[in-house]
Every structure is written in structure tokens, then in C-alpha cells.
Amino acid sequence: MPLNITIQGLMFKTTIVVLLIAILASLGRGMFFLTKGGDTKNNVLNSLKLRVSLSIALVALLLLGYFMGWIEPNNVVIANKQK
């Protein structure tokens, strides 16, 4: 089974990985401001807003990729267990 990798597919997958890393970085930033204490309420809120926005963008990108045919689900058949 040869790998059918195109530039478009590679850019799509790279964008997904970059978004996931940005979400994790925002999560770490929020945790830092939360544990730092002091007057960091706005920083924690901004970090949360950024993380939610990036997550929405990731889901939208995954849906776009699915409908454009760039990604497809695994075709795993689950057998029914009969008694």
C-alpha cells in the first residue's frame, strides 16, 4: 500500500499539529498565571479565550478536511457479539 501524500495533505496535517501545540501552550500559559497568584485574572481569562478559539478553529478545520476529502475516518467494522 503506497503512501499517497500530497503537498496539500501535508500542509493540512501540519496545520492540525500546530494548532494542537498552540492549544497546549495556551493551557500551560493559563496554568502558569493561575498558580502565580496575584492580579492575573485577566491573563487567565485571555488564555481561556485563546484556547477556546483555537479549539473551535481546530474542529472547523477537521470538519473542512473531512468534507473536502483530505481526511477520512477509519473503516473499522465492529462485529456483533452473539451469545
Given pLDDT bands bounded at 50, 70 and 90, which one contains residue 1? Answer: very low
What predicted TM-score, i.e. pTM, was given to this entire model? 0.76
Q: What pLDDT is attached to residue 72?
A: 79
For residue 3, how many other CB atoms are within 10 A of its CB?
A: 4
Given pLDDT bands bounded at 50, 70 and 90, which one contains residue 26? Answer: very high
CA separation for the pair 61, 59 (Å, rounded)? 5
Residue where the block lists cell 473499522: 76
Q: What dihedral do alpha carbons 10, 12, 13, 14 form, nearest 10°?
A: 80
CA separation for the pair 15, 19 (Å, rounded)? 6
pLDDT tens column, 34-72? 888 767 778 888 889 999 999 999 999 999 988 888 887
